[in-house]
Structure 1
Amino acid sequence: MAALIETRAVRPGAIGEAAQRRVRRGNLLGPGGRLMIVAADHPARGSLGAGTRSLAMADRRDLLERLCTVLERPGVDGVLGTPDIIEDLLLLGALDGKVVIGSMNRGGLAGAVFEIDDRFTAYSAAAIGAAGLDGGKMLLRIDERDPATVATIESCAGAVSGLAERGLMAMVEPFLSHRVDGRVRNLLTPEAMIRAIAIASGLGTTSAYTWLKVPVVDDMERVMAATTMPALLLGGEVPADPDAALAGWQKAMRLPNVRGLVVGRSLLYPPDDDVIGAADAAVEALW
C-alpha cells in the first residue's frame, strides 16, 4: 500500500504504463459462456455502506484487499469500477487476463436532490478505449416526474453509441424510479423492469454492443422476454438471507439471455465476512 501511494505521488505516469502493459483476454465470456464480475464503483457516488456497516467501503486499503482476494478466485472474470479503483488495481498488477469495465456516470450522488441528473463524471467512452478497458457501465434511472431524467437518457444514449464505435461493451443498468420521502427508490415490479428494459434496449445508434445489468425480480421469465440483449444479474444490497439470493440467481441463470453476474457489496462484505466463501458461492450460482 505504501508503494502504491508513493507511486501515485511521484510517478503518476505509471498508471498509463500499467494500462498499456495489461494483458487482455481474448473475449468477454469465460470458457463456459458465463461472466462473473465484481462491482466496486459505489464509493464515487458517495455510497459507502454495506449491510449494517455504514462506512464499510470507506477504507481503501481494506476494499483493495477484498477486491484482490476476489479477483484471485477461480471463475471470477473481472471487475467494474471508477478510474481511481481501476488504476489502483492496475498498479497492484491485479487485472491481467481480467475483464475490466469502467463505470461512467457517478454524478447522481446518493441522497442528493440532483440524484436523477446522473452526469458522466467518471470514464468517457474515449477514455475507456484509450485505457484498453473492455467496456463501460452506466446507470439509467428514469423518474417520469423529474425533468432531469431526459438529460440522463440522452447522455446514456451517447455513451452507448461511443462505446459501440470502439467495439466495446455498453453495460446499461436501467430502472424506473421515484422519490419516497425525498429519496430515490427503484421500482422492482416486473412491469416496471419490463418498461425500463425496453427503454434501455433502444438507446444509441446501434444496440450491437449493449448488455443489460438487471436485478432479480418476480416473474423473471416475463421480464427477460422484453429484450434479446444479453444480461447480467446485479447483486444489490447485502441480503439478509444470502441463500435466498443465491437461489434467485441460480433460477434466473436458466434464462437464455442471462449470461452472468455483477456482484458488489454482497460479495465483498458478506454478513459473515467470508469473502472467499461468498465469491465461490457466487461462481457456483452461474451453473
Structure 2
Amino acid sequence: MSVEMRDTGDARAGSRAGRIAALADRRAFRPESIAEAAAERGRRPALLGETGRLMLVAADHPARGALAAGGDPLAMADRGELLDRLCTALERPGVDGVLATPDVVEDLLLLGVLEGKTVIGSMNRGGLTGASFEIDDRFTAYSADAIAASRLDGGKVLLRVDDDDPATARTLESCARAVSALAGHGLMAMVEPFIARRSGGRVRNDLSPEAMIRAISIASGLGATSAHTWLKVPVVQDMARVMAASTLPALLLGGEVADDQRAALDGWRRAMRLPTVRGLVVGRSLLYPANGDVAGAVDAAVEIL
C-alpha cells in the first residue's frame, strides 16, 4: 500500500506490516493529512438511521492503559492487530460507527474506513487503570471544541462516583462542563456512569440495580442542558427498574469478554425492549471474542438490533 492509502479505496489491501508502515509514513511526513481526511469525511445525516438503533464499536480502552481482553493482559497492545479487528467490525452490515480516542480515530481516518460512519470521540482518559489517581479522571483526550473541529458526531465521558474519594468532585465538574460544551455544538454527549469503590487497592464498579439507578440519576443531571445527552450503561439485574431512572436515550455497553457469549446476547436482547434503550456500544466483547471470529461476534450483536 502506498503512503496515499486513503486514495486506494481499500483499507484492507496489503499486509498488516504494509498498512502500519504506510500509517507511520503519513504521520511522519504528512501529519496535515489527518486534518484533511477529517475535513473530507462523509458524515451521516443523523445519529439514528431508519431502524432507530445505533451500533458502535468501542476502542478507547488502550488510552487508559486497559489492554486486557479475554484473560490476555496485553490483548490490545498490538495496534496493527487492533486496527485489523476494527476494520473487520466496521465493514460488517449494521455497524454504524466507532467510539475511540484521537490516535485510533485518526488511524481509521487515514485508512479511509470512517466514510458515512458515526464517530464519537473519547474525552477523559486520565484515570489510568490501577493508578492511585484513577478516580481523578482528567480530560486528556478530545475536547468538545476538538470534536467539533474534527467533524465528529459527539463525545463520550466516563463518570465514576466514589463517595470516599474527593477527586470525584473534580471529575463531576469536568464531565458537566463537557456535556454543556458538546451541547453548545449540537453534538451528542455520551455519559458512562458508575458508582465505584476502591477494594483491595483497585477501583471496582458497583453493578447492583440500586447503584446503577443512583449513577444514572447523577449523570442525567450533568450540564446546562440534557438535550444532547445519551447514557452508556451496562446490563445488570432488574434493568426495567434501572432504566426507569431517566428518560435519556441509552446505549448498552458490552464490557469484558464474556465466558458465556450466548447469555450476554440474551441480556442485550431483553434490555433492547426497554423504551429508552437505542442500541449497543461494544468493544472487547466483539473485537476479541473467545473463538476469535470478530465478524461472527459483530453479526450476532447486530442481529439483536
Asked if Structure 1 and Structure 2 have the same fold, meaning a TM-score greater than 0.5 normalized by the shorter chain, the answer is yes
Identical amino acids, percent of aligned pairs: 73
**Hey, what does 2:208 align to over in structure 1?**
189
Counterpart of 1:49, as a letter, is A
* CA displacement at 1:31 relative to structure 2: 1.6
Q: Number of residues paired by the alignment?
A: 286
Aligned residue number for residue 275 of structure 2: 256
Aligned to 2:156: 137
Determine which of 107, 127, 130 is the counterpart of 2:146: 127
CA distance in 1, matches of 2:49, 2:71: 34
Letter in 2 for 1:89: L
User: Who is 2:98 aligned against?
Assistant: 79
Normalising by structure 1, we get a TM-score of 0.99
Unaligned stretches of 5+ residues in structure 1? none
Partner of 1:94 in structure 2?
113
> Please, which runs of 5 or more residues in structure 2 have no aligned partner?
1-18
CA-CA distance at 1:80 after TM superposition = 0.2
Residues 88-131 of structure 1: per-residue CA shift (max 9 Å, x gap): 00000010000000000000000000000000000000000000
- After superposition, residues 31-50 of structure 1 pair within 5 angstroms as 31-50=50-69
Q: Shift in Å at residue 3 of structure 1?
A: 1.2
Is the aligned partner of 1:111 residue 2:108? Answer: no
In the alignment, the residues of structure 2 paired with residue 214 and residue 77 of structure 1 have an alpha-carbon distance, to the nearest angstrom, of: 18
Measure how far apart 1:18 and its partner are.
0.2
Quote how far apart the aligned CAs of 1:162 are: 0.2
Aligned to 1:243: 262
The residue aligned with 1:53 is 72
Distance 1:234 1:214 in 2: 6
TM normalised by structure 2 equals 0.93
The letter for the 2-side match of 1:262 is V
Distance 1:68 1:27 in 2: 22
| Matching of residue 202 in structure 1 with residue 221 in structure 2 | yes
Q: Which letter does structure 2 place at the counterpart of 1:209? A: H
2:167 aligns with one of 148, 151, 164:
148
Deviations 1:208-233 (A, max 9, x none): 00000000000000000000000000
Structure 1 residue runs of 4+, over 2 Å off?
none
